[in-house]
Amino acid sequence: MTPDTLLHRLAAFVLRSGIRLAPAEAREWGNAMLGELQHIEGNWAAVAWALGGAGVLAKHALVALLLPGRNRQSAPMGNPLVREAKMHKASVITGGACLAAVLLFFLAPVFRQGFRVSLAQWQSVINVGESLFYPQKGLESLARRVEKRHDAEGMAFVAARLNNRDESVRLANEAVRLDPKLIWIWGVVGWHFSGASGVPARIKKLEQSDPGNALPCLILAQRADMEHSVVAGGGNTLPPASPSAAWLEAMAGAFSSTRIDDYTGRLRALARTVARRYGLNDPYFVVEMWNGFYLPGQMGLDSTRYAMLIIKSGEALEARGDTKGAIEKYLQVAHFVRMFESHDTYQPFFDALMPVAYRRLAAVYTKMGNGPQSAYFAGLARTAEHKMEQHLLQWRSEMENQGSIFGITAWNQWSWKLQTLRCWRRSACC
Amino acid sequence: MTMKSIRLSPQTLQVLDRFSQQPTRWRYGYELSRETGLKSGTLYPILMRLAKHELLETRWEQTEEGVPPRHTYRLTAKGVELVQSERVRARKPLATHKPATAGGRA
């Protein structure tokens, strides 16, 4: 008899549990497997034996549960192998029925939505075909429907999502023509396609209808950058060495703005309305494509460049003894950066800028002999530096733990790539 | 259904082959598992089916004091007849013997 080890006892427990669950006619066989267990020497071999046996008993328990009236003892006499063939057929039928049941799930819109969402995290790993976000073919067909109905909101909805620049701009213009309250859609289409013709004139109109918002100015600055950018080696575009007058004017406007509204709230409300109106089941028609980033791509770079120009001019004023003028310059930078404090998505772009402005202010007040003001700004600088460190740590941690911005873990990526490699090797071999 | 239409799984053939080598000998489940290389989850459903169709007879055997009795098996006359008819039909051994490598004692 084998030693009474923990794993042997566990194996016996598993089998006894199986025997308890099993129907009467299968219990004898469960006891038979239990009797053999005492003669298996290896611990893991005993566990494997018990698991296999428990699986057999569980299968009998399940059959007895699903077919309670079935008389297991009255199997037809004759060749058992005939019965085996029948069982095989039954397995195929059951498997087919299960598959059909699974496919039926796809008839439910909620299931299809959930399934598509579950695929999204693999998008950056598989990286094949059309993006899951904003399926363009579906949008083109939706564009035809909204135009037929002269639906301004529908046009704005499609314009914000189409990749086709000309079509997007045309639909946005038509939407604003039908409903002037939708003028904000120019802000969305404008930053997406800031190089399109007619953008400056429309953004100027938007600026007039939404005074104090920095977004139109940032779009115009990006446009000016694009017009004067320099193509460097490797096809990369760099901002011009000396800023253009149009860019300076636009950035001055942005830095004297009182707020920043990227129209995310309006976009979400529009998506809800249009999705309900047209019964849109595809989640990627309405989901936010840009992960909540609805400002011109050059915004961070432009703002930093312009802020450094202001700080330099403040330093020049300081050198000339105009401390009041210098303070105004530094405060202008601090004020601009503070506009983004409530926007977690954009705040990290200015992490490095804020401490610089506050440190300059603290230094000026020290020079002026104003200790309390100096200490106040020095404290703000420390807080800003701490925040910057926190963002940096968070970013590093995300990069270490995640394979992509969509949240694929490194393990999942690795396993997927391994599977792909195996499939590829198999197809190469055969 | 004729014998030609019967589907014989390789595992069932292996088990029948082991029994047919010494038809009168009583065998233990674990012993069969080692000799055929079949896991308990595969072997016992086969034994259960063969027993249900009276191709296999079973009995309990008390080996040691304080140790649960063991279930033992051997082919019935009907079982021997089936194996022989299958051999004639195939004109070759029912299955290739595959010794198991697991440790333990039967």
pLDDT digits (tens, 9 = 90+) for A148-177: 999 999 999 999 888 888 999 999 999 999
Interface contact flag, A32 B53, Cβ < 8 Å: no
pLDDT level of residue A107 (50, 70, 90 thresholds): confident
Q: Chain A closest CA to B91's CA: distance in Å?
A: 19
For residue A85, the chain B residue with the least C-alpha distance is B7
**Which residues 36-65 of B have a C-beta within 8 angstroms of A?**
39-42, 44-45, 47-50, 52-55, 58, 64
For A312-340, write each residue's pLDDT tens digit: 999 999 999 899 999 999 999 999 988 88
With a CB cutoff of 8 Å and minimum separation 6, the contacts of A123 are A131, A132, A406
ipTM reported for the complex surpasses 0.85: no
pTM: 0.54
pLDDT level of residue A96 (50, 70, 90 thresholds): confident
Interface contact flag, A41 B41, Cβ < 8 Å: no
Structure token digits, residue A318: 């300081």
Interface contact flag, A56 B29, Cβ < 8 Å: no
Interface contact flag, A52 B71, Cβ < 8 Å: no
For A182-193, write each residue's pLDDT tens digit: 999 998 888 888
Interface contact flag, A56 B9, Cβ < 8 Å: no
Torsion of CA B21, B25, B31, B36, to 10 degrees: 20
pLDDT level of residue A70 (50, 70, 90 thresholds): low
pLDDT level of residue A422 (50, 70, 90 thresholds): low
pLDDT greater at residue B3 or residue B56: B56
Structure token digits, residue A98: 């299960």
Best B52, B55, B73, B75 member to test A by mutation, with max A CBs in 10 Å, is B52
Interface contact flag, A31 B40, Cβ < 8 Å: no
Asked if the C-beta of A71 comes within 8 angstroms of chain B's C-beta atoms, the answer is: no
Structure token digits, residue A247: 């860019």
Interface contact flag, A84 B7, Cβ < 8 Å: yes
Asked if the C-beta of B89 comes within 8 angstroms of chain A's C-beta atoms, the answer is: no
For residue B29, the chain A residue with the least C-alpha distance is A36
Rounded CA gap, A279 and A423, in Å?
39
Provide the 10 A C-beta neighbour count for residue A217: 23
Residue B75 confidence (pLDDT) above 70: yes
Interface contact flag, B45 A32, Cβ < 8 Å: no
Asked if the C-beta of A18 comes within 8 angstroms of chain B's C-beta atoms, the answer is: no
A38 contact residues in B (CB cutoff 8 A): 67-68
With a CB cutoff of 8 Å and minimum separation 6, the contacts of A12 are A34, A37, A50
Residue A121 confidence (pLDDT) above 80: no
Interface contact flag, B29 A52, Cβ < 8 Å: no
Interface contact flag, B7 A31, Cβ < 8 Å: no
Rounded CA gap, A203 and A178, in Å?
18
Ranges A234-243, A341-350, A401-410, B15-24: which has the least confidence: A401-410
The beta-carbon neighbor of A39 closest among B45, B49, B105 is B105
Bridge partners (DSSP) of residue B61 are B70
- Please report the pLDDT score of residue A195 as a whole number: 79
Asked if the C-beta of A81 comes within 8 angstroms of chain B's C-beta atoms, the answer is: yes
B69 contact residues in A (CB cutoff 8 A): 35
Residue A127 confidence (pLDDT) above 70: no
The beta-carbon neighbor of A36 closest among B5, B29, B102 is B29
pLDDT level of residue A120 (50, 70, 90 thresholds): low
**Which residues 23-42 of A have a C-beta within 8 angstroms of B?**
26, 28-29, 31-36, 38-42
Interface size A-B, in CB pairs within 8 Å, comes to: 105
**Length of chain B, in residues:** 106
Is A144 exposed, middle or buried, given 0-12, 13-18 or 19+ CB atoms closer than 10 A?
exposed
Rounded CA gap, A252 and A310, in Å?
10
Interface contact flag, B29 A75, Cβ < 8 Å: no
The beta-carbon neighbor of B52 closest among A52, A53, A80 is A80
With a CB cutoff of 8 Å and minimum separation 6, the contacts of A148 are none
Interface contact flag, B53 A48, Cβ < 8 Å: no
Ranges A89-93, A104-108, A252-256: which has the least confidence: A89-93
- Please report the pLDDT score of residue A239 as a whole number: 64
Percent of chain B with pLDDT over 70: 76
Interface contact flag, A32 B67, Cβ < 8 Å: no
Rounded CA gap, B78 and B55, in Å?
6
Ranges A4-8, A95-99, A118-122, A126-130: which has the least confidence: A126-130
**Average pLDDT in chain A:** 80
